[in-house]
Amino acid sequence: MLNQATMDMLTAMKMTAMAAEFANQLKDPTFNELGFEERLGLLVNAEWNRRQSNKLNRFIRNARFAVPSATVEGIEYHEDRKLDKAQMLRFATCQYIDEGHHIILKGASGNGKTYIACALGNAACRRFKKVQYIRMPELLDELSIARSGGTLKKVLESYKKKDLLILDEWLIRPLSPQESYDTTLRLFGRTIISKQTTQPKTTTMHGKPFRRLSTHSIMLPFPSSRRFTLPLRLMPYWPLDNAFGLPSASKYISVSAVPSL
């Protein structure tokens, strides 16, 4: 009766994994050979692992990835793709987020930019960083509606709270001066940008050259392919120079189609 009451209380306190582990220990006599501290440690570990797993799943769900199953481990490193695996693994450590750098993914539609971006977003979620994926057209619509409804500041603040912002289809169309202001001076920090190489050769945002952002640039130059095995070229990155007056502690990833740098 006492053991059942203990399990009921653990369940009532939402410590379901600890309750299940306690029940297993009661059924298995081999646990009697362990001391109190060891058995308690197993109970705590079971509950801790459950909560960490639930937290990770919640972070991934809230990110709303276009490819929820994308992982760094799932990226294909075919020889003809010329993708630097060591570089990708360094990106997976999320150091670029801590240092306030951006990642630009360039290539034709279907080259795997979105998959890679979501994989890096998944890696950030594993480190319990708040990530948000959104298509650029949807973001612009959301900001426009928020502006007309008087809630723009609230919406912008919600995005600024993210550790990583993934923007897909970046600059798929020219931005108005107001949109440029909202998406550069007011919103972005760390970004991953995926751009189509068929877009215009130059880019300015709010009158500033986009090339001045601190970036890691990855090139997927060949025609579109859904097999994600196309050649890749890693470009240099530059230190932050506050080109848009952004705070150095800003934090985001954007994935989208942007003009060539």
Architecture of the domain defined by 67-235: 3-Layer(aba) Sandwich (3.40)
Q: What pLDDT is recorded for position 177?
A: 83
The predicted pLDDT at position 90 comes to: 93
Radius of gyration of the chain (CA): 23
**Domains in the chain: boundaries:** 2-61, 67-235
pLDDT value of position 192: 62
Inform me whether the pLDDT recorded for 228 exceeds 50: no
Supply angle C-alpha 234, 115, 136, rounded to 5: 95
Which of 83-87, 161-165, 245-249 bottoms out in mean pLDDT, i.e. has the lowest?
245-249
Cα 51 from Cα 68, distance rounded (Å): 20
Q: Could you give phi then psi for residue 212, rounded to 5 degrees?
A: -80, -10
DSSP 99: T
For residue 107, what is the enclosing H or E element? strand 102-107
Percent of the chain with pLDDT over 70: 70
Q: What pLDDT is attached to residue 180?
A: 78
Among 216, 149, 136, residue whose Cα is nearest residue 182: 136
- Burial tier of 141 (Cβ tally within 10 Å: 0-12, 13-18, 19+): exposed
Q: What is the pLDDT of residue 148?
A: 92
Q: pTM for the complete prediction? A: 0.73
